[in-house]
Structure 1
Amino acid sequence: MTKKRTAKQEDSDEDDGYLNEPVAYRPYPVTNTKIKKTKYSTSLDPRGYIPVYEFTINNQPIMWDRENGYVHFTGIWKALGNNKADIARLVDTHPDLASTIKKVRGGFLKIQGTWMPHDKAYELCRRTCYEVRDELVSLFG
């Protein structure tokens, strides 16, 4: 995985199907990964929905919020073959995460779990996701 993009301004010069969305959170183009753009309704978000980019790794949905970049880390963790309960221990070992993560409970099953800022997810993935690093290029570059 390489360093993620840092620009968060909107870019309307390209016609790649992702216009008017923050550049930093657009998927990196990868030929072997089909990424879909969708929304999941939820009353747990002030917007009433979570707009995401989504693809799968090892039959687990990998998604991130198109507008604020929050990454559904539970999907990545489960794609590695780990138990989602282990995320609590991972967060305990990184106290700086506690104030930035969002835990979605209830509602649509696919979006339930731990969501964290893009930069925090990138740092954790650099340490823990070697087995799926190539599949995460769409998300982190």
Structure 2
Amino acid sequence: MTSAHPSSSIGPRFRPYASSKHQVTKGRYITSNDPRGYIPVYEYPLNGQWIMMDIDDGYILWTGIWKALGNSKADIVKMIDSQPDLASVIRRVRGGYLKIQGTWMPYEVALRLSRRVAWPIRDDLVPLFG
């Protein structure tokens, strides 16, 4: 992340890195799973999946990264179940717009997991992690 700007009313602001390979756009998706009523995101497609970052708090849609690697939904459940410390920090979005459904986790946690399992798509994650 290139910058996180404190804001008194909203919290940190996250911005993706520039990449010559990816067109990062902004989106805003309505959901009842979030107290804001919507999730504002930076997003770009990768291998038929959407890579997303919550603009307000930097949470990353881990499901997008996981599926871009070719893994199944069942595999992400096993991975999270095998690491009980993740349960307290992840958010699960169910229902609403399909594009934002899945497991969201803090930037630092997603970065750490990506370093362990996402080597094949590391160049495609530059907009998120630099």
TM-score by length of 2: 0.91
The yes-or-no answer on 1:84 pairing with 2:73 is yes
1:61-100 per-position Cα deviation (integer Å, ceiling 9, x unaligned): 1001000011110011000000012111111222211100
Which of 118, 124, 127 is equivalent to 1:129? 118
Superposed displacement of residue 9, structure 1: 2.6
Aligned counterpart, 2:4:
8
Aligned partners of 2:111, 2:128: CA distance in 1, in Å? 9
Name the residue aligned to 2:96.
107
What does residue 56 of structure 1 align with? 45
Deviation, structure 1 residue 10: 4.1
**How big is the shift at 1:32?**
1.6
| 1:120 is the counterpart of 2:116 | no
- Give the CA deviation at 1:8: 3.1
**Cα distance in structure 2, aligned partners of 1:129 and 1:38:** 24
Q: Which runs of 5+ in 1 are unaligned?
A: 12-20
TM-fit CA distance, 1:134: 0.2
Give me the CA root mean square deviation. 1.6
Report the equivalent of 1:93. Answer: 82
Aligned residues of 2:61 and 2:104 also touching (Cα < 8 A): yes
2:24 and 2:44 in contact (8 A); partners too: yes
- Contact 2:4/2:15 (8 A) holds in 1: no
| 1:71 and 2:67 matched | no
Indicate the residue corresponding to 1:16 in structure 2: none
What are structure 2's unaligned runs of at least 5 residues? none
Number of residue-to-residue matches in the alignment = 126
SS at match of 2:124: coil
**Structure with the higher strand share, 1 or 2:** 2
User: Percent identity among equivalent residues?
Assistant: 54
Name the SS of the counterpart of 1:126 in structure 2. Answer: helix
Partner of 1:14: none
| TM-score, with structure 1 as normaliser | 0.84
